[in-house]
Structure 1
Amino acid sequence: MNDRSTTGGAHEHSGAKNRMSHGEVRKVDAAAGKLTIRHGPLENLGMGPMTMVFKVKDLAMLSQVKVGDSIDFVAEERDGALTMTELRKQ
């Protein structure tokens, strides 16, 4: 029997998906490497909906989006700054 039960694998996969938050790009600041996002709850950070600025892990993320785009993203606290580590344009 396989030790990797369907429940365990599904739970791990859904956990990664559940880290994603939804938002709208309000500003792209390429010079500073930051995005301003109006977002829903950031459950992994215990934050409610608001508009805030995030650093991006990879500057290439900035060229993927423009103001008004709907996105799903993951933000984490890294070195004292909220940093967007994953980004998917909708």
Structure 2
Amino acid sequence: MSTTNVVDTARLNLLLNELRLPAIKALWPQFAEQSDKEGWPAARFLATIAEHEIAERAGPGCLDSAPLDLSGFLPGYAERGALRFCRCVGRA
């Protein structure tokens, strides 16, 4: 790993801590590697890690969720079906 990559990785981890995005912090290296190998567009990579952050925050017990179908926005997304996002995320 080059010095630039090490610095960028450390900086990103600090930023994700500050933004309180623990799921993204834990998962981004794995998904970045996969996206590089498979040639994902940046939007697909960001959407994937954001989905995981939302799912982690919602947890298994959230009953206030709404379906969101992203198949029209991301190629190959239809086979994954509609997501259910928790509407209580971010509520105080």
Report the TM-score, using the length of structure 2 for normalisation: 0.26
Q: Which has the higher contact order (CA 8 A, sep 6+)?
A: 1
Under a length normalisation based on structure 1, what TM-score does the superposition of the two structures give? 0.27
